[in-house]
C-alpha cells in the first residue's frame, strides 16, 4: 500500500485496492487483528504513532484507575473494622509518680483535691515521711498553754545519716506563765560527725534549761538564749578538742522561746525562723551566709540566691573557734499565727510563698508539717529536712 499526498486538501490519500487486500487478510485470521497497528506502522508512520500513543494512554488510565480503586477499598475496609482512628487511638498512661518525677517542683494532687476548684493550692501527698511529734521532751504540757506544736525530721532522699536534731521543752514560769523552748540544729553536711555536733547542741541547751531556766523580762530572755547558745558552742568545741577526727564538726542553730504573746528567736548559721500570719509569711531570722550578704548589698536577688553555687557557704556556726555571730529577734504572736523553725533542707527547697500556701491550706499543724517535709522531699530532698511548727490558738 502506498499513501498519496494531495496538495490541495493537505490530507494524504490511501490506495483503496491495497487496503482491501489487508482487511481481507485480517478477516481470514481473527487472532491477528491486534497486529493492525503494526501494519499501519509499516505503511503510514504518523498515523500509526498516533494510534499507538492513544492505546498506551488508555491502558495506563485503566491501570491507574484499578490501582486507586484497590486503595479506596482497603481504606474503607479499615474504617469499617476499626472505626475512626482519631476517636479510638489510645493515649499513653502517665502515673502521678512519673508526672511528679518529670516536673521537678510541682506537687501531686491528693485524690480529695482533684475534684476541688482549680484555685485551691495543690498539696503533696504524704507518702514517705513519718508521723510528726506533738509532745515536748518535758512530757506533760503545762496547764493553760495557748498553742499547739508539731515537729518532724526526715533524712531526705540522698543522705545516709540524719545530721539534724531538734528539741522541744515546755514549762511554766512564775514570772510569765507557760512557755516553750524549741530548737532545730543542723550538723554541717559532709563534715565528720555532723550528727554528733547537732546532738551536742540540743543536749547542751536542755542542760542549760534544767540548771538555769529563763526568768522574767525580755532582756533576761535574750540573755538566757545567748547563754544557752554559748553553752552549745562550748560543748562542740570541747568535743573537737578531745576527738582528733572531729576537728571540722559544727552545727547551725535556730531557737525560739515562745510565750503567750511573743517569740524570742536566736540563730546561728542558715537554719531559719518564719512568722506565718493568716495574711502573709515573713522570714524573721537572717542567714549567716555568703549569699545573704550578696542579697543585702544588692548584688543578687533573693530568687538568685536560691540557686547560687555558693548558697551553702556560711560564716557563723557552732564549733567555730573565732568569734561566733549570733542573731536575736523578737516578734509578737497573735491568735491564728504560726512560727516555723526549720533547717535549710526545707527552706532551700521551698520558696516562701510555697511554705505559706501549704501552711495556710492545712489547719492541723501536724498535717501541715508533714506536707512541708514531703514537699521538700519531692522538690529534691538532697539534704536532711527538719521543722517545728508552733500554732497560736484562737
CB 57 within 8 A of CB 47: no
- Please give the grid coordinates belonging to residue 218: 525580755
Q: Is residue 187 part of a domain?
A: yes
Does 267 score more than 60 pLDDT?
Answer: yes
Residue-wise DSSP of 120-136:
SPP-----S--PPB-S-
Q: Which tens digits make up the pLDDT trace of 25-36?
A: 545 554 444 444
- Please give the grid coordinates belonging to residue 44: 503510514
The CA distance from 377 to 133, in Å, is 19
Domain that holds residue 24: 3-82
> Could you tell me whether strands 251-258 and 262-268 are parallel, antiparallel, or unpaired per DSSP bridges?
antiparallel
- Split at pLDDT 50, 70, 90, the class of 143 is confident
Rg (CA), the chain: 44
- Pair (58, 190) in one structural domain: no
Report the 10 Å Cβ neighbour count for 313. 12
- Pair (45, 144) in one structural domain: no
Ranges of H-type helices in the chain: 16-28, 36-43, 45-82, 85-88, 96-102, 194-211, 218-242, 290-296, 302-307, 344-347, 352-361, 365-378
Q: Which tens digits make up the pLDDT trace of 78-99?
A: 444 444 443 333 333 333 333 2
Residues β-bridged to residue 328:
266
- Pair (149, 63) in one structural domain: no
Q: Is residue 379 part of a domain?
A: yes
- The phi, psi pair for 252, rounded to 5°, reads -90, 175
Q: Given this model, what pLDDT does residue 21 score?
A: 65
Question: Which residue is associated with the grid cell 536532711?
Answer: 384
Q: For 8, which DSSP code?
A: T
Q: Is residue 118 part of a domain?
A: no
Q: Is residue 214 part of a domain?
A: yes
Q: Given this model, what pLDDT does residue 20 score?
A: 62
- The number of folded domains in the chain is 2
- Pair (145, 55) in one structural domain: no
- Pair (235, 301) in one structural domain: yes
Which of 16, 48, 82 is a domain's end point?
82
More confident residue, 199 or 120: 199
- Pair (142, 73) in one structural domain: no
Q: Given this model, what pLDDT does residue 144 score?
A: 86
More confident residue, 47 or 328: 328
Q: Is residue 90 part of a domain?
A: no
- Pair (71, 163) in one structural domain: no
- Pair (180, 260) in one structural domain: yes
- Pair (76, 156) in one structural domain: no
Flag the least confident range among 53-62, 76-85, 177-186: 76-85
Does 168 score more than 80 pLDDT?
Answer: yes
Model's pTM, two decimal places?
A: 0.68
Q: Which tens digits make up the pLDDT trace of 362-394?
A: 999 999 999 999 999 999 999 999 999 999 997
Q: Which tens digits make up the pLDDT trace of 43-59?
A: 455 666 677 777 778 78
- Split at pLDDT 50, 70, 90, the class of 15 is low
- Pair (156, 74) in one structural domain: no
CB 79 within 8 A of CB 87: no
Q: What is the CATH number of the domain that holds 299?
A: 3.60.40.10
The CA distance from 149 to 140, in Å, is 13
Q: Is residue 269 part of a domain?
A: yes
Select from 132, 124, 135, 167 the least CA-distant residue to 152. 132
N-terminal to C-terminal alpha carbon distance within the chain: 123
- Pair (60, 196) in one structural domain: no
- Pair (300, 381) in one structural domain: yes
The CA distance from 169 to 174, in Å, is 16
Q: Is residue 107 part of a domain?
A: no
Flag the least confident range among 114-118, 158-162, 270-274: 114-118
Mean pLDDT over residues 172-185, rounded?
93
CB 184 within 8 A of CB 341: yes
Q: Is residue 92 part of a domain?
A: no
Q: What's the mean per-residue pLDDT of the chain?
A: 80
More confident residue, 1 or 262: 262
Q: Given this model, what pLDDT does residue 111 score?
A: 35
Flag the least confident range among 41-45, 240-244, 308-312: 41-45
| Residue 235, Cβ density class (10 Å: 0-12 exposed, 13-18 middle, ≥19 buried) | buried
- Percent of the chain past pLDDT 90, that is, above it, reads 51
More confident residue, 300 or 338: 338
Q: For 93, which DSSP code?
A: P
Amino acid at each position: 500500500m502506498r499513501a498519496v499526498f494531495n496538495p490541495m486538501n493537505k490530507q494524504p490519500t490511501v490506495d483503496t485496492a491495497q487496503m482491501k487486500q489487508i482487511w481481507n487478510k485480517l478477516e481470514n485470521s481473527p487472532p491477528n487483528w491486534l497486529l493492525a497497528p503494526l501494519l499501519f506502522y509499516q505503511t503510514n508512520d504518523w498515523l500509526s504513532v498516533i494510534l499507538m500513543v492513544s492505546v498506551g494512554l488508555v491502558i495506563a488510565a485503566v491501570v491507574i484507575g484499578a490501582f486507586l480503586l484497590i486503595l479506596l477499598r482497603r481504606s474503607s475496609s479499615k474504617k469499617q473494622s476499626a472505626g475512626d482512628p482519631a476517636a479510638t487511638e489510645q493515649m499513653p498512661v502517665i502515673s502521678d509518680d512519673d508526672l511528679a518525677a518529670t516536673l521537678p517542683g510541682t506537687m501531686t494532687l491528693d485524690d480529695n483535691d482533684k475534684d476541688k476548684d482549680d484555685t485551691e493550692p495543690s498539696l503533696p501527698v504524704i507518702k514517705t515521711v513519718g508521723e510528726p511529734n506533738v509532745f515536748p521532751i518535758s512530757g506533760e504540757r503545762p496547764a493553760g498553754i495557748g498553742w499547739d506544736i508539731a515537729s518532724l525530721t526526715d533524712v531526705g532522699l540522698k543522705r545516709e545519716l540524719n545530721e539534724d536534731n531538734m528539741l522541744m521543752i515546755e514549762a511554766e514560769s512564775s514570772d510569765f506563765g507557760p512557755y516553750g523552748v524549741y530548737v532545730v540544729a543542723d550538723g554541717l553536711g559532709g563534715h565528720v560527725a555532723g550528727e554528733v555536733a547537732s546532738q551536742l547542741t540540743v543536749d547542751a541547751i536542755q542542760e542549760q534549761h534544767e540548771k538555769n531556766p529563763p526568768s522574767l523580762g525580755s532582756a533576761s530572755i535574750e540573755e538566757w538564749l545567748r547563754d544557752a547558745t554559748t553553752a552549745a558552742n562550748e560543748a562542740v568545741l570541747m568535743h573537737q578538742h578531745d576527738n582528733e577526727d572531729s576537728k571540722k564538726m559544727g552545727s547551725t542553730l535556730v531557737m525560739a522561746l515562745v510565750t503567750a504573746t511573743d517569740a524570742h528567736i536566736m540563730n546561728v548559721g542558715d537554719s531559719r525562723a518564719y512568722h506565718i500570719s493568716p495574711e502573709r509569711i515573713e522570714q524573721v531570722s537572717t542567714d549567716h551566709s555568703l549569699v545573704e550578704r550578696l542579697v543585702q548589698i544588692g548584688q543578687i536577688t533573693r530568687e538568685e540566691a536560691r540557686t547560687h553555687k555558693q548558697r551553702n557557704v556560711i560564716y557563723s556556726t557552732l564549733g567555730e573557734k573565732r568569734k561566733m555571730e549570733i542573731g536575736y529577734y523578737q516578734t509578737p504572736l497573735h491568735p491564728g499565727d504560726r512560727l516555723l523553725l526549720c533547717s535549710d533542707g526545707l527552706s532551700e527547697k521551698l520558696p516562701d510563698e510555697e511554705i505559706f500556701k501549704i501552711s495556710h491550706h492545712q489547719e492541723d499543724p501536724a498535717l501541715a508539717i508533714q506536707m512541708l517535709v514531703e514537699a521538700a522531699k519531692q522538690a529534691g530532698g538532697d539534704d536532711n529536712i527538719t521543722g517545728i511548727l508552733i500554732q497560736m490558738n484562737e
